[in-house]
Amino acid sequence: MPGRFSREALEAEARTRSEDVSDAVLGEATTAVLRRPIVDRNHDIPYIAGYSRDGKTIFIDRHLPRSFEFHGRRVHVERFIVLHELVEKSLLDEMRLHYLHAHQIALRTEQAAVRAAGVTWRAYNAFTKANEKKISDERLTKVPRSLDLTPYRDEEDFATLERAVKAERT
């Protein structure tokens, strides 16, 4: 029986073949990425989402709505956010990039996945920015102890870092 990430399992995830830019391949890749981490929506997370220090858990702020409406259909946002966070964390840990560079690459990946799903970046970004403002204004009461604080340090967002550390300790 093939293991979770055996060669056979990886081959089964990649059903669509293309060397070119492909929405179908990106959709499959996003689905594959979502199988890797634990997603935790039970905490207060500055900047909407983050990851554990070991990269095995993606935290999405408990107040972020799970979806929004776009042209009469419900768009679930977790897949795009998780993709962003996993790409960012991988680039920080494996490539030793600065957060700003890792974030920019992750943001572009997130944007491509949103567009491949038939959603405009403008609509999706408006949703995330509106909620980011609400989340950044909230009082942090439930911050996970394992939250990687690198983004707050690298952004030199010491006020948020201080609030997160204080909430993490309580």
Per domain, the residue ranges of the chain are: 36-169
Across the chain, mean pLDDT equals 88
Tokens of 17: 């073949």
Q: For the chain, first and last CA: distance in Å?
A: 45
Confirm whether pTM is higher than 0.95: no
The full length of the chain comes to 170
Measured distance CA(90)–CA(78) in Å, rounded = 18
Asked if pLDDT for residue 5 goes beyond 70, the answer is: no
Measured distance CA(88)–CA(50) in Å, rounded = 9
- What integer pLDDT is reported at residue 41 of this predicted model? 96
Specify whether the CB–CB gap between 105 and 91 falls below 8 A: yes
pLDDT one-digit tens code per residue, 108-160: 999 999 999 999 999 999 999 999 878 777 788 889 999 999 988 877 776 77
Residues 6+ apart with CB under 8 A from 130: none
Q: Residue 71: left (phi > 0), alpha (psi -120 to 50), or beta?
A: left
pLDDT one-digit tens code per residue, 31-73: 888 888 899 999 999 889 999 999 999 999 999 999 999 999 9
CA distances from 119 to 57, 84, 146 (A): 26, 16, 33
Q: Which residues pair with 57 in a beta bridge?
A: 38
